[in-house]
Amino acid sequence: MAKTKDVNQNSISYPVRGSNQLSKVISPGDCVLMQPCEPNKPPYVARVEKLEANNKGETTVEVRWYYRPEEAIGGRRQFHGEKEVFLSDHYDFQSANTIIGKCIVHSFKAYCELEEVAVEDYYSRFEYQASSGEFTTDRVAVFCKCEMPYNPDTLMIQCDECQDWYHPACVKMTTARARQLSSYVCDECS
């Protein structure tokens, strides 16, 4: 009988060729960018759940996919930020060779607190059930007269009196004018 060796599959890691400035080694729990099927599409975003190596030295990753808004039922909406992704219930096995590099998927709050957003920074505030097209979320705060969730890519101004936040266009103001303000009082408070 041949000898076998038990290997803890969650303890292996995978070096990424030509990776970005983040650590060059992928481990379970890391978020990664995966090669898209079509060359003109952005890379897929996934979280590595498990890495498995076979006896030929080939590594397979089990990933949990993040969906971009346009990949979800309902599509991209006004309040979705450019770097927003949804953690899904869609798991899959892929060749580790399709990993382009690492990325970071922040909580929404942590992303909004970043001083500078890097290319590899993304955020997730919703979970998405791919099979049903439903979102799982706690309550999401809405702002402005338009009652939309906050989009970190869109400028908002805060009323000095009531502390509510408004999109400049919703209060009939240009973005350029809003950037020049040192204080603002909304119509409700003035």
Query: Is the separation of the CB atoms in 47 and 63 below 8 Å?
Result: yes
Spell out the domains of the chain, with CATH numbers in brackets.
Answer: 9-140 (2.30.30.490), 155-190 (3.30.40.10)
Question: Which pTM was predicted?
Answer: 0.80
Distance CA 119, CA 109 (A): 18
* CB within 8 Å of 52: residues ≥ 6 apart: 9, 12, 59, 60, 61, 62
Q: What's the average pLDDT block by block, 10 residues per block, for the chain (190 residues)?
A: 42 61 78 92 95 86 96 90 95 93 94 94 94 79 89 92 94 93 92
